Chain A
Amino acid sequence: MFQRTLCVSFAAIVAASALHAQEQSIIVQSTTSTANSGLYDHLLPIFEEETGIEVNVVAVGTGQAITNAENCDGDLLLVHAKPAEEAFVEAGYGTSRTDLMYNDFVIVGPDGDQAGVGGMSDVEAALSQIAESGSLFASRGDDSGTHKKELSLWEASGVDPSTGSGEWYRETGSGMGATLNAGIGMGAYVMTDRATWISFENKQDYEIAVEGDEDLFNQYGVIPVSPDHCPSVNAEAAQSFADWLLSEEGQTAIGDYAVNGQQLFFPNAPES
C-alpha cells in the first residue's frame, strides 16, 4: 500500500514536470546583479502578462552565464562584460549584442576607511592607495563581469594585485552577495555594482567610498542565443523578450525600477 502510494505520487511528479516543460518558456542566463536586485521581479510579470511567455532566470556570474549559453543551456544572455559578449557573438554563439542599460560600479568600505579613499572619484588612484596602505580588498575572483571590470581597473592603476593574493588581496571566488558578506566580515574594501549595493541588506557600517569615475561605468547587454549554433533554443520567444526589453515600454519599465527610492538601472538601448 505504502509502495503503491509512493509509485503514484512519483508518477504524478514526473507528469507535473513534463507539463511544465510544455509551456512556452525561455531561459535567461543572467548576471546575478540584475536578479539579486529584484529587477526581474519587476519586469517579468509585465512581459509575461503581455505575451504569455514564461521567462526563467538562471542567475550566475557573467563567466558562467556565457559558458552555459555556449552549451545551449539558455535562450538569451543578459550580462555585463562587453568584450566577452562581443567575442560570444563573433564566435557564432549569439545572433547580435545590443546595449540594454547601464549603471555604475562603486567601491564600498568600512566606516574607519583605513586607506583614506572616502570621497575619491579617481578609481585608479583610489585602488593604488588601497594597495599601498595594505588595506584588505575582497575581489570576486570568479571570472564574472564585475571581476573582469575590477581587473581592468587594477591594470589601469598599475598595481598587480595578484602579488598580494591571500594577503591583502582576497579572492572569494563567489558571487557578488557572498563577496560582500565576506568582505564586510573581514573589513575589506569591495567593488560592487551599485544595484546590488543599494538592495543589499547586510551593509553594517559600510558606505560607498569611491564613485563617479567614468571608468566605473557598467554597461549591460542582451544577446539572443543563435539558433544556428543551438537548434534547441526557443529563438522566437527569446527574440521577443529581447525586443520587448529594448522597446520603449521595456526601457521605461527598467527606468521605473527603484529600491528605497533610488533608481538602479538606466536604460540606454539605441533608438530604433
Chain B
Amino acid sequence: MQNMTEATWLALQLVLSGDADLLEIVALSLQVSLSATFLACLIGLPLGALVAISRFPGRGAVLVVMNALMGLPPVVVGLIVYLHLSRSGPLGFLGLLYTPTAMIIAQTILIAPIVAALSRQVLEDMHSEYAEQFRSLCLGRWQAMQALIWDARYALLTVGLAGFGRAVAEVGAVIIVGGNIDHLTRVMTTAIALETSKGALSLALALGIVLLVIALGVNAAVQGVRMSAARHAYV
C-alpha cells in the first residue's frame, strides 16, 4: 500500500514537472493508439455495417468468427506482425519493424475486429428500425450503410473508445514489433513493463496512473460529445 501512495505522489510530480521523457512517451502512446483506432474504424465500420445489413449463407459463422477475433491475444498479433515485418519476412523490405508505424499496424489488427463486431451489433439494432423505410425508399446497400453509420455515429464513438482503450492498454503487441526503443518506440505500457522489470514498482505504478488519467480524459471528451448529441435526440 505504501507503493500506492508513493506512486500517486510520483505521478503528480511527473505530470506537474512536465517531464520531457514522459511527455514524449505519452505523445507517442496517443499517436500510435489514436492512429490505430482511426484505421481500425476505417476498416471495421464498413465491415460491421455490411454484415449488419446483409443476409447470406454462413452469416452465423462469420458472426462467431468476428466476435471470437475480439479476443485476439496481443502477443499473438505482435508475433504475426513481427514475422511479416521482420527483415527476413515477406514485408521486411519495407523496413518497418521497430518503428511507430509497425506498432500502429499491430494495434490496428488487434482492434479492427473489436470495432467490426461491436459496430455490427449497434448498426444491426438500428437497421432493424430503418430497414423497411430504406427499402421503401429504394436505397442501395451502400447508401443504407452510409446512412446507418452516420446516424449511429454517437453510439459508434463508444465503439471507437472500446477499441482505443484496448489499444492504449496493450503491451504484448507493441513491445514485440516496436522493441520498446527509448525515444523511438517506447510507449506508456512498454515503459511500465520496463520499470516493473527494473523493480521500480512505484515509478511503474505512477506511469500507470498517468495512463489511467489520459484514458479518463479521452473518455470524458467523448462523453461530452455524446451528451450534447443526446440533447439533440441524435443518439
Contact = CB atoms under 8 A, between A and B. Distances in A.
Q: Do chains A and B touch in the complex (CB under 8 A)?
A: yes
Contacts, number: 85
- Dominant SS among interface residues on chain A: helix
Contacts of B189: none
B186 to A, nearest CB: 10
Interface in A20-46: 20-21, 27, 32, 36, 40-41
B101 A176 contact: no
Contact size range, A: 35 or more
B65 interface: no
A71 B88 contact: yes
B100 A13 contact: yes
B129 to A, nearest CB: 25
B179 A56 contact: yes
B98 A10 contact: no
Given A56-B181, A72-B92, A232-B95, A178 B197 contact: yes
Interface of B (DSSP majority class): loop
A177 B101 contact: no
Q: Report the interface size class on chain B.
A: 20 to 34
Nearest to A196: B198
A121 interface: no
Nearest to B104: A13
B201 A20 contact: no
Interface of A: 6, 10, 13-14, 16-17, 20-21, 27, 32, 36, 40-41, 56-59, 68, 70-73, 175-178, 180-181, 199-203, 230, 232
27 contacts: A10-B39, A13-B31, A13-B104, A17-B100, A20-B99, A20-B184, A21-B95, A27-B98, A36-B197, A36-B198, A41-B182, A58-B98, A71-B87, A73-B86, A73-B88, A73-B98, A177-B196, A177-B198, A180-B199, A181-B197, A199-B198, A200-B199, A201-B201, A202-B200, A230-B88, A232-B87, A232-B92
